[in-house]
Amino acid sequence: MEVCPTLSVEDAISTDKVSLSVTRKDMVELPSEDLADILEELPGDEQQALFSALDSEKAAETLAEAEPRAQRQIIANLRKERARNIFSEMSIPQLAGLFTVLPHDNVTQFMQLLDKDQYERVRSILSEREATANSIMSHEFITVTKYITVGEVIEKIRHSEFDPHNISYIYVVNEDNETLLGVIDLREMLLATDNKTIGDIMASPVITAEDDDVQDDLAEIFAKYHYEMIPLSMPGIASSVLFITMIL
């Protein structure tokens, strides 16, 4: 089957759940969750054709959302360089989750495609399922003080190079950038008037995880609160002070 600039998979493949006839541009604009659902319904050739049309970032997001059976099917047919590019776009927990469902031989093969930091962190998680939050945290996040206005924060984001994955929430800290005061969902901030201060709309107190929480503990927190990121409370400092890191 040929994949043309405008991708049509068997013109329109229909199942009980999906009917697909989309352009490459359409696919990029679909949420990764929807693309994962589509991939899960397609037979092998069409599944590979659709996945191959995604850029590395979208492919990584979609692969992370797919069910284990589809993940195994997709990754079994990836060329090494393509796999390397996709893995570079995935977070450590996403990679660990993916490798958990793969056959051992595939894990050994694909682990070699990770950079040194990825390799060590993923290996730590795979080899010790009791890995703590501290081993899978990220240091990329956005903080502001409570006195800044909504309009100023939005302008700051627009003129920055923040990774889109790191701006789901805005974290509010004191002037020393040490005490975590509150959190704002980006969607809620966009609905507020520009002259509102962040302190007026922030949610407080903030749900946090402990640095020695194991994966089962973290899974329960994410399942209970439905957050995409959770700040991590570090030990050895005053209880009111948090070094903010995100469990991704």
Decide if 13-127 and 137-247 have a common fold: no
Nearest CA to 90 out of 109, 71, 69, 70 is that of 71
Between these two residues, 215 and 147, which has the higher pLDDT value? 147
Return the H-helix or E-strand segment holding 142. Answer: none
Question: Residue 14's pLDDT band (boundaries 50, 70, 90)?
Answer: very low
Q: CA geometry: angle at 193 spanning 191 and 198, to 5°?
A: 90
Mean pLDDT estimate for the chain:
78
pLDDT (tens digit per residue) in 55-101: 999 999 999 999 988 899 998 889 999 999 999 999 988 998 898 88
Helix (H, G, I), strand (E, B) or coil at 143: strand
pLDDT (tens digit per residue) in 97-153: 898 888 888 888 899 999 998 998 888 877 765 556 666 677 777 889 999 999 999
Nearest CA to 90 out of 21, 23, 136 is that of 136
Domain ranges of the chain: 13-127, 137-247
Average pLDDT over residues 230-235: 73
Between these two residues, 132 and 13, which has the higher pLDDT value? 132
End-to-end CA distance of the chain: 37
Lowest pLDDT segment from 6-15, 132-141, 230-239: 6-15
Which homologous superfamily does the CATH classification assign to the domain defined by 13-127?
MgtE N-terminal domain-like (1.25.60.10)
DSSP string, 182-217: EEEEHHHHHHS-TTSBHHHH-B-SPP-EETT-BHHH
CATH class of 137-247: alpha beta
Q: Are 86 and 60 in contact (CB under 8 A)?
A: yes
Whole-number percent of the chain with pLDDT over 70: 77
Question: Hey, which of 15-19, 145-149, 153-157 has the most confident mean pLDDT?
Answer: 145-149
Q: Are 62 and 39 in contact (CB under 8 A)?
A: yes
0.85 exceeded by pTM: no
Give the per-residue pLDDT at 16. 39
One-letter amino acid identity for 120? E
Between these two residues, 201 and 142, which has the higher pLDDT value? 201
